């Protein structure tokens, strides 16, 4: 059984910029470094989340080839296993392509170019097969962003592959379906399935565009990334309003909704009446389900192809993923356009 995600491997040809963004703006601290024949790597941590920034050594290895085709982004989403041999047998039975891996680990093909390195629970939570040099722990500055967990990973898939991919992750990886939703926004539409490990620590939000509708943001990602890939990483925080203010002070660029978004927010989330001013000031979105409410905000992508970006999310018992915000934002923009049209008549 797969339990959690020990780290994420992010490949880039501009490590200085990526490390600067993660450390200066998202408060990740350098934890370890390594070099091998294919890459140089620096592991950075914020709370329980580790991102390994890898850059290619030479022009012909797997990291260089990934960058040429897909650009900067997540190349490996590892998982730890409580019984690695049994999990590998299940993957082989399900015809999952297995790839070469260092001793003591396994590696399975995932979605698009993304792979899953598989480690036994208790293994060092860093890419295996490298000689890591651990760096002195750095004190966390007051007011720095404090990440509590990796809430979920959003994955864009080509149209027509969602159901097959969700079934595969359920059967081969033991990540059963958690929820599903079809969202139509104007002329665009997308379908999504969430798969989650029994532990709750591995959650993939799988998204595909509806090819019968107009192209939208998912199609744009697939074009820029040259296929399926990780669209965003969602970081769980305790106090999103404070986190956004800290992030803005550090230089993080967040997407902000039009002001009219908040005019109808209380119709959907009545319990937030006392927080509307703070949410409007920070651009934080809100959604609710039968269990509670959530607050979320998205960064602009800091990468050249504008593919991978980040989300901050605060959960107040909510179990969903903010799907109402997609529709609400679209409708808010349309209302703003109508107002502008009325003013110019």
Q: Which residues contact 263 (CB under 8 A, 6 or more apart)?
A: none
Residue 8: per-residue pLDDT: 99
Judge whether 152 is annotated as a binding position.
yes
Residue 210: per-residue pLDDT: 96
Segment (H or E) for 208: strand 203-209
| Residue 59 to residue 157: CA distance in whole angstroms | 28
Instruction: For 96, list phi and psi in degrees, rounded to 5.
Output: -75, 125
| Residue 75 to residue 281: CA distance in whole angstroms | 35
pLDDT tens track for 297-309: 999 999 999 999 9
Domains and CATH numbers, the chain: 8-125 (3.10.180.10), 149-342 (3.10.180.10)
pLDDT tens track for 70-86: 999 999 999 999 999 99
- How would you write the pLDDT of the chain (345 residues) with one tens digit per residue? 999 999 999 999 999 999 999 999 999 999 999 999 889 999 999 999 999 999 999 888 899 999 999 999 999 999 999 999 999 999 999 999 999 999 999 999 999 999 999 999 999 999 999 999 999 987 766 667 899 999 999 999 999 999 999 999 999 999 999 999 998 988 889 999 999 999 999 999 999 999 999 998 899 999 999 999 999 999 999 999 999 999 999 999 998 887 788 888 888 888 898 999 999 999 999 999 889 999 999 999 999 999 999 999 999 999 888 887 877 766 655 555 566 667 766
Judge whether 213 is annotated as a binding position.
no
User: What's the whole-model pTM score?
Assistant: 0.93
Judge whether 232 is annotated as a binding position.
yes
């Amino acid at each position: 059984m797969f339990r959690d995600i020990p780290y994420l491997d992010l490949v880039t040809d501009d490590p200085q910029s990526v490390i600067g963004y993660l450390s200066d703006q998202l408060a990740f601290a350098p934890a370890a470094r390594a070099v091998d024949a294919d890459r140089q790597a620096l592991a950075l941590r914020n709370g329980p989340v580790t991102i390994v920034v890898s850059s290619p050594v030479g022009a012909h290895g797997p990291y260089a080839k990934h960058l040429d085709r897909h650009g900067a982004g997540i190349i490996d989403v590892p998982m730890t296993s409580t019984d690695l041999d049994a999990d590998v047998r299940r993957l082989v039975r399900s015809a999952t392509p297995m790839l070469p891996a260092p001793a003591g680990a396994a590696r399975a093909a995932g979605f698009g170019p993304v792979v899953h390195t598989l480690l036994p629970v208790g293994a060092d939570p860093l890419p295996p097969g490298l000689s890591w040099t651990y760096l002195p722990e750095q004190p966390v500055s007051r007011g720095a962003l404090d990440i509590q967990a990796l809430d979920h990973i959003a994955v864009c898939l080509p149209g027509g592959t969602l159901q097959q991919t969700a079934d595969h992750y359920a059967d081969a990886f033991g990540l059963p379906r958690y929820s599903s939703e079809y969202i139509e926004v104007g002329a665009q539409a997308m379908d999504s399935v969430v798969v989650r490990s029994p532990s709750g620590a591995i959650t993939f939000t799988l998204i595909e565009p509806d090819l019968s509708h107009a192209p939208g943001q998912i199609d744009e990602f697939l074009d820029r990334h040259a296929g399926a890939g990780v669209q965003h990483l969602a970081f769980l925080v305790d106090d999103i309003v404070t986190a956004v203010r800290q992030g803005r002070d550090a230089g993080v660029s967040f997407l902000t909704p039009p002001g009219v978004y908040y005019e109808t927010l209380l119709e959907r989330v009545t319990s937030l009446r006392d927080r509307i001013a703070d949410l409007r000031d920070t651009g934080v979105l809100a959604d609710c389900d039968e269990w509670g409410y959530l607050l979320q905000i998205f960064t602009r992508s800091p990468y050249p192809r504008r593919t991978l970006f980040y989300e901050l999310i605060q959960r107040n018992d909510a179990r969903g993923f903010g799907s109402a915000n997609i529709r609400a934002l679209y409708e808010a923009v349309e209302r703003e356009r109508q107002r502008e049209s009325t003013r110019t008549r």
